[in-house]
Amino acid sequence: MSEQQYAISQYPDVDEVYARLNNLISQPMRSVRPEKMQEYLAYFDNNCKRSKELTDEAKTYIPGGVQHNLAFNYPFPIAIEKAADAYMWDVDGNKYIDFLQAGGPTILGSNYAPVREKVTEMLQSCGPVTGLFHEYELKLAKLIQQHMPSIEMFRMLGSGTEGVMAAIRAARTFTKKRIVIKVGGAYHGWSDSMVFGLHVPGTGRLESAGIPWGATSSTEEFFPNSLGALKRQLILNRLLGGTAAVIVEPVGPESGTRPVPFDFNRKVRELCDEFGALLIFDEVVTGFRLGLGGAQGYFGVKPDLTVFGKCVTGGFPMAGGVGGRRDVIMTFAAGIGGIGKKAYVGGTLSANPLSCVAGYYAIKEMERTNAPVIAGKAGDRLTAGLNAIIEKHGLPFVAYNQGSIVHLETSGVMLLDFRNPIRLAKELKPRKHMIEQMGAAYMANGLITLAGSRMYTSMADTDAVIDEALSRFEAVLSECV
Ligand SMILES: Cc1ncc(COP(=O)(O)O)c(C=O)c1O
């Protein structure tokens, strides 16, 4: 491991980021000029014909034509045939620089051969699943603990969503309290109790179709970075039987789209201690991406429980788990005899040999290559280049990064919330449409982003890849009027 252990070389000046974002949202939108946008949209009709055929046909069999939330791209989804390192190729043979990186798990780059080979060996010897114990479960748990000492025990599960569900259940069982507080706008997966205050702070049950009121009645949200509001809720909850846990994404909701001040996590830790609530870090994105010690190592804050996903299997299926304090994790029932009430967890395919071997070697490769730091440097280079383009063209856009998590805000849609409902009602749709268009414009220029506003860099992003990407970004951004 080189001197720098974490992906973040310099923590963003959060006040400055918000000042720039507020400036962005206070102005009319600066979109790609309409004639140019028509040209970009024509790219899809002319160059992505097979993608269109496939995803049109899929609409007959699959609701919406695509299954993954990140794949609902404007003007229509593209179908991918091949992925390697920093690139993806669609079924029409178009090549893209891939800043989606599957939504975050592939810090080593897509389809990384050394891990794939270990997985293939496992498939040949054992197959993907047996239902019984495999040594790699132990190896993975020990390796995680070695890098994140707060993980005294680890329970592997099927996804980040399951990890969050399990963490909340363990927290409630352990504390014997009911209420869980999250940050408004944060995404912690799609379990019943967490589809609350989703994406836009203050929206509560707006997206809770199909979820009974009872399932969200013990979930509360507070506005991003409002420690005063959190404290007030903790005080109030004391009268209602207490708070079982506060769950946060340590860089801020939506992978730091609303970034937190550096000392935010420490202050939340203090409040949790004061009120007897457990602190859950959702490190589904940050775990290993920010460094092998995770966000908890970077911020120097010890959570009671940590949720894992994505990087924990290096992009292989069934990426999820929860780890933390021995006394809390021991509340889980499965596999543990004993007395008292236990929190139930399960999963036919959880902790299968394939996922565990993938996770073990992905983390070993991250250790060997220093991938999180290399990916972080690529994120720094991309961000610096984007800011130079923004300045050169006199645009109000905002680029900042937390290592390999890069944000490029062009519409400011993420800054809208229920504190200003009139602006929210008026601007949500057009500003959302603008980032859809930006995403399409980038894609027509051979760049795949997450929803037109976020990029995950990986170890495969060499300087040459980033510089090529920057010239493509400039082609789009210079057309914004
Ligand atoms: C912070 C965070 N928590 C939880 C989840 C849910 O993880 P999964 O998609 O594996 O269920 C996600 C997924 O993007 C996430 O970003």
Tens-place pLDDT, residues 191-201: 999 999 999 89
Burial classification of residue 13, based on how many CB atoms lie within 10 Å of its CB (0-12 exposed, 13-18 middle, 19 or more buried): middle
Distance linking the first and last C-alpha atoms of the chain: 45
Q: What's the CA gap between 306 and 288, in Å, rounded?
A: 12
* Structure confidence at residue 340 (pLDDT): 62
Cβ atoms of 56 and 65 within 8 Å: the answer is yes
* Structure confidence at residue 35 (pLDDT): 97
Q: Which of 85, 90, 98, 282 is catalytic?
A: 282
Instruction: Give the dihedral sign, CA 183/184/188/192.
Output: positive
Taking every pair of C-alpha atoms in the chain, what is the biggest distance, in angstroms?
70
pLDDT at 474 > cutoff 70: yes
**What predicted TM-score, i.e. pTM, was given to this entire model?**
0.97
Tell me the per-residue pLDDT of 103-122, one tens digit each, with 9 for 90 and over: 999 999 999 999 999 999 99
Cβ atoms of 309 and 284 within 8 Å: the answer is yes
371-392 and 353-369 helices, crossing angle to 10°: 70
Q: Which amino acid is at 387?
A: N
How does DSSP assign 365-423, residue by residue? Answer: HHHHHTHHHHHHHHHHHHHHHHHHHHHHTT---EEEEETTEEEEESS-GGG--TTSHHH
Q: What share of the chain is helix, strand, coil (3-state, %, to 5)?
A: 45, 15, 40
The fraction of the chain above a pLDDT of 90, given in percent, is: 92
Q: Which amino acid is at 325?
A: R
* Confidence grade of residue 3 (pLDDT, cut at 50, 70, 90): low
Q: What's the CA gap between 476 and 187, in Å, rounded?
A: 29
* Confidence grade of residue 309 (pLDDT, cut at 50, 70, 90): very high
Substitution candidate for ligand 1 out of 70, 161, 289 with most atoms within 8 A of CB: 161
Q: What's the CA gap between 426 and 356, in Å, rounded?
A: 47
pLDDT at 1 > cutoff 50: no
> Which residues is 133 bridged to in the sheet?
none
Q: What's the CA gap between 67 and 424, in Å, rounded?
A: 28
Q: Which two tokens stand for residue 328?
A: 């809390």
* Structure confidence at residue 377 (pLDDT): 98
* Structure confidence at residue 415 (pLDDT): 83
pLDDT at 326 > cutoff 70: yes
> Which residues is 89 bridged to in the sheet?
82, 95
Substitution candidate for ligand 1 out of 188, 283, 289 with most atoms within 8 A of CB: 188
Q: What's the CA gap between 201 and 50, in Å, rounded?
A: 39
Instruction: From residue 51, give the alpha-carbon distance in Å to each of 57, 92, 433.
Output: 10, 7, 22
The per-residue pLDDT of the chain, averaged, comes to 95
- In ligand 1, which atom is closest to the CA atom of 320? 10
Least confident range of 71-75, 141-145, 186-190, 279-283: 71-75
Catalytic (active site) residue 187: yes
Substitution candidate for ligand 1 out of 100, 190, 281, 284 with most atoms within 8 A of CB: 284
Q: What's the CA gap between 452 and 444, in Å, rounded?
A: 12
Compute, in angstroms, the gap from residue 481 CA to the centroid of ligand 1. Answer: 35
Tell me the per-residue pLDDT of 52-66, one tens digit each, with 9 for 90 and over: 999 999 999 999 888
Average pLDDT for 353-363: 98
Residue with CA closest to ligand 1 atom 2: 188
Cβ atoms of 279 and 246 within 8 Å: the answer is yes
* Confidence grade of residue 2 (pLDDT, cut at 50, 70, 90): very low
Ligand 1 pocket, Cβ-based, cut-off 6 angstroms: 103, 159-161, 164, 187-189, 249, 282, 284-285, 309, 319-320
* Structure confidence at residue 225 (pLDDT): 97
Q: What's the CA gap between 192 and 261, in Å, rounded?
A: 29
Least confident range of 70-74, 156-160, 415-419: 415-419
Residue with CA closest to ligand 1 atom 7: 160
Q: Which two tokens stand for residue 45?
A: 């009709």
Q: Which amino acid is at 293?
A: G
* Confidence grade of residue 160 (pLDDT, cut at 50, 70, 90): very high
Average pLDDT for 223-249: 97
* Confidence grade of residue 336 (pLDDT, cut at 50, 70, 90): low
pLDDT at 260 > cutoff 80: yes
Residue with CA closest to ligand 1 atom 5: 189
Catalytic (active site) residue 13: no
| Domains of the chain, each with CATH number or no CATH | 14-48+370-477 (3.90.1150), 113-368 (3.40.640.10)
* Structure confidence at residue 106 (pLDDT): 97
Q: Which two tokens stand for residue 159?
A: 């996804």
Tell me the per-residue pLDDT of 425-457, one tens digit each, with 9 for 90 and over: 899 999 999 999 999 999 999 999 999 999 999
* Structure confidence at residue 334 (pLDDT): 59
